[in-house]
């Protein structure tokens, strides 16, 4: 009998910086994530990823052609529609019955062993990155989140001609991590249909997360937070400068083993500390400090000290 396999899955496309994010994420998965299984990347820049990773073992590239990418995005030009479409396509390509898949955004870094996730998934739970709160009651909601909350107060939504009930208490989840049983791949087809129904009425960049949250809520799927296993640095875009410095320091000749050994030197959860401390200051103080040129200062790189 074939053993169950867990697959890690990433989606990396477009500018070079996203390839750097993906390569760094993969190094962290092999490092602190202690993941030994197959890693797959849906991508339109496989040669660049291979260059950034060196001779990394058991990495598989699923080509994202221009035609396929456009088909996944669809006629609305909502770019994040690509995500559930790519997950569904890749899952059907790479998995067999009984397998598990963990999808991660490229701007994630493993801090701990992911075995805890696998244990949750084996018990039928879906692992998601972070719950922002009920759609109609997110603490300190942004304008986009407020619009989503107002939208979920509608009674129903027509999805492919069928009236689907909307629940204002639907928990909205960040989808930077999605760990699921591969047999449940049809959820992502449903999420795409919900995106197509929601986008004309709710044109915000997080519609993909709203749609997937609604699908999981409708199915009453048991969900669990990904916890401290990964750091999702979606609000720390300055880390892209660190990635450029990291790969420039390594150069093209560094081996995979050298890359794997060095990745913790720029851990984003550490490098974010000065920004986090600055943002904890009162708004008036931050404004004053910025006016006199005293914004937060990035940490030095270990190879520069």
Going by pLDDT thresholds of 50, 70 and 90, the confidence category of residue 3 is low
**115-141 pLDDT tens trace:** 999 999 999 999 999 999 999 998 888
Homologous superfamily of domain range 6-232: Spore Coat Polysaccharide Biosynthesis Protein SpsA; Chain A (3.90.550.10)
CA distance 113 to 272: 21
How would you class 129 by CB atoms within 10 Å of its CB: exposed for 0-12, middle for 13-18, buried for 19 or more?
buried
How large is the angle between the packed helices 16-30 and 239-250, nearest 10 degrees?
A: 80
pTM: 0.95
3-state secondary structure of 40: strand
Where in the chain do CATH 3.90.550.10 domains reside? 6-232
62 vs 304: which has the higher pLDDT: 62
CA distance 191 to 155: 18
């Amino acid at each position: 009998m074939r053993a169950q396999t867990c697959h890690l899955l990433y989606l990396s496309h477009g500018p070079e910086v996203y390839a750097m994010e993906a390569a760094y994420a993969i190094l962290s998965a092999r490092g602190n994530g202690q993941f030994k299984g197959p890693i797959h990347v849906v991508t339109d820049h496989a040669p660049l990823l291979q260059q950034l990773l060196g001779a990394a073992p058991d990495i598989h590239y699923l080509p994202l052609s221009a035609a396929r990418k456009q088909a996944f995005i669809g006629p609305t030009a909502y770019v994040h529609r690509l995500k559930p479409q790519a997950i569904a396509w890749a899952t059907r390509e790479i998995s067999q019955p009984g397998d598990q898949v963990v999808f991660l955004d490229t701007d994630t870094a493993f801090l701990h062993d992911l075995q805890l996730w696998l244990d949750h998934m084996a018990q039928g739970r879906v692992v998601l990155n972070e719950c922002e709160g009920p759609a109609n009651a997110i603490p300190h909601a942004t304008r986009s989140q407020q619009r989503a909350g107002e939208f979920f107060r509608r009674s129903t939504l027509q999805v492919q001609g069928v009236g689907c009930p909307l629940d204002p208490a639907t928990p909205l989840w960040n989808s930077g991590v999605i760990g699921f049983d591969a047999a449940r791949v049809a959820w992502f087809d449903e999420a795409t249909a919900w995106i197509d129904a929601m986008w004309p009425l709710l044109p915000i960049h997080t519609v993909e997360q709203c749609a997937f949250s609604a699908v999981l809520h409708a199915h009453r799927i048991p969900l669990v937070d990904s916890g401290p296993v990964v750091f999702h640095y979606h609000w720390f875009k300055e880390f892209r400068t660190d990635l450029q410095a990291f790969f420039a320091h390594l150069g093209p000749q560094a081996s995979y083993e050298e890359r794997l050994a060095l990745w913790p030197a720029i851990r984003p959860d550490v490098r974010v500390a000065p920004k986090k401390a600055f943002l904890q200051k009162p708004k008036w103080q931050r404004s004053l400090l910025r006016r006199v040129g005293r914004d937060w200062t990035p940490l030095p790189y270990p190879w520069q000290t």
